[in-house]
């Protein structure tokens, strides 16, 4: 049962344009959502997060939007740069006695110069 889904395995965007990565979830008990970025041969690194009580969080070129009614999360990167080319994972945090993180399958973003 995949509680966190990234339905687009890959995305190509022209440099300077907006990249939009999407994530859907099924469990309404998730209280935090995070995005991680992963380059080949490296571990994922934290990018940005959002609490379930907010609908938007912005950090420089990165903005995460949360639509709780649709159980949908998106990451916007504006403007996209070639260095943004990586695999992006969304993750959701659940507390049920202890904290648990559930990751999506990832979306490979390619920013074309």
Partner 1 sequence: KAGVTQTPRYLIKTRGQQVTLSCSPISGHRSVSWYQQTPGQGLQFLFEYFSETQRNKGNFPGRFSGRQFSNSRSEMNVSTLELGDSALYLCASSLAERQGYYGYTFGSGTRLTVV
Catalog residues that contact partner 1 under the rule CB under 8 A.
Answer: 6, 9, 32, 34, 36, 41-46, 49, 89, 91, 93, 98-106
Instruction: Tell me whether residue 40 or residue 113 sits nearer to partner 1 (CB atom).
Output: 40
Least Å from the CB of residue 14 to partner 1: 26
Distance of CA 102 to the CA centre of its chain: 12
Least Å from the CB of residue 82 to partner 1: 22
Q: Name the phi and psi angles at 102, rounded to 5.
A: -120, 125
Instruction: Tell me whether residue 32 or residue 65 sits nearer to partner 1 (CB atom).
Output: 32
Instruction: Tell me whether residue 10 or residue 81 sits nearer to partner 1 (CB atom).
Output: 10
Least Å from the CB of residue 60 to partner 1: 17
Distance of CA 68 to the CA centre of its chain: 15
Strand blocks (E) in the chain: 4-5, 10-14, 19-25, 32-38, 45-51, 56-59, 62-67, 72-77, 86-95, 99-103, 107-112
């Amino acid at each position: 049962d995949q509680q966190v889904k990234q339905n687009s395995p890959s995305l190509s965007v022209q440099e300077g344009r907006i990249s939009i990565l999407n994530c859907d979830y099924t469990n309404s008990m998730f209280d935090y959502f995070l995005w991680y970025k992963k380059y080949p041969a490296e571990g994922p690194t934290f990018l940005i997060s959002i609490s379930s009580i907010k609908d938007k969080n912005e950090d420089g070129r990165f903005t995460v939007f949360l639509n709780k009614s649709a159980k949908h999360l998106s990451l916007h990167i504006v403007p996209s740069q070639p260095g943004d080319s990586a695999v992006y994972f969304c993750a959701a945090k659940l507390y049920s006695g202890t904290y648990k993180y559930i990751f999506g399958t990832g979306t490979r973003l390619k920013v074309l110069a």
